[in-house]
Amino acid sequence: MRPSSKTRKYKIGYGAQGTNYQFGQQVIDSLKQEADRLETVELLVLCNRYNPKVAEKNADLFVKERCDLVIEFQTDENMVPIISAKYHNAKIPLIALEIPHPGATYFGANNYEAGLIGGRELGRWSKQHWSGQVDEIVLLELPRAGMVPRARLTGMLVGIREVLPSLEECPVTYLDGDGQFETSWKVIRRHRRQTASKRALIGAINDCSALGALRAYEEAGRVEECAIMGQNASPEGRDELRRASRFIGSVAYFPEKYGKGLLKLALDILSFKATPSAVFVAHQLLTPKNVDQIYPNDRLTTR
């Protein structure tokens, strides 16, 4: 039986996705802050570096360290059953952050709903600025993460067409941006050279990917030919919203609040309380009009 919190702290491992993207760093920071506040948690953080092999090694270390529970944020779907099996065999409860894992409690985005929110705004923007005339819809995906995160893009497409039913026959192009700035910049750069599209709605799996797409259009001097929607409302994305560019919005996930929710769920699991199989975070659309209302302290931290 797991020791009670009265005899010692619970050791909770966190396999972080990576730190090169501020969304991931904010999750780490929020977990550390909440662990410091609590008297019952010892937090062990290892970085998966967006690499499946590193994630596997980290899982082995969490098992070796005899963690009482692990929170795993690793992106590669092919590694999911391998990592899940390690924790299952070691009888370590698992919380899967953003990417579902077999036998784990899911915590993170309501992907389809988040996509709908972003897609509807793309549709509204197109209706207002282009009279609904669109040549192409481009969706920047992250195939190695699997079908659940892809539901964001499904939701975006449905949301666009919900506002503009006339776009049912509009060409849709899926490009693998791998959720990363440079990869997305390169694929959009290549695609832009091959397409005759003059009005493209672009939906991205996250802000990092969205910003890569935006830079590709900016460097070509053709930014007026696109409108781009992000996901996560990360600090990078919020900064861009303040530039009045063609990055028209991002759907917020509020990673700075993840720590409290994750550790509450973890302690409930370790206390054998009834817990849901999935915990979804709340989402909200951020645009240039409301970003300073939702995140009024951003400017204080960037000075």
- For 143-149, what is the mean pLDDT? 90
The pLDDT value given to residue 18? 81
Give which of 218, 236, 237, 215 is closest to 285, Cα–Cα: 237
- For 197-203, what is the mean pLDDT? 97
Decide if pLDDT at 299 tops 80. Answer: no
Query: Other CB atoms closer than 10 Å to residue 117's CB: what's the count?
Result: 23
Provide the pLDDT confidence category of residue 5 given band limits of 50, 70 and 90. very low
Give which of 98, 81, 91, 89 is closest to 15, Cα–Cα: 98
Decide if pLDDT at 89 tops 60. Answer: yes
Decide if pLDDT at 1 tops 50. Answer: no
Return mean pLDDT, the chain: 94
Most confident of 17-21, 35-39, 185-189, 243-247: 185-189
Provide the pLDDT confidence category of residue 8 given band limits of 50, 70 and 90. low
pLDDT tens sequence across 258-292: 999 999 999 999 999 999 999 999 999 999 999 99
The pLDDT value given to residue 301? 61
Decide if pLDDT at 72 tops 80. Answer: yes
The pLDDT value given to residue 6? 54
- DSSP-derived pairing of the beta strands 105-108 and 278-280: parallel
pLDDT tens sequence across 164-198: 999 999 999 999 999 999 999 999 999 999 998 99
CA dist 233 and 238 (Å) reads 6
> Cα torsion at 108, 112, 117, 122 (round to 10°)?
130
Decide if pLDDT at 52 tops 70. Answer: yes
Decide if pLDDT at 219 tops 80. Answer: yes
- For 35-52, what is the mean pLDDT? 94
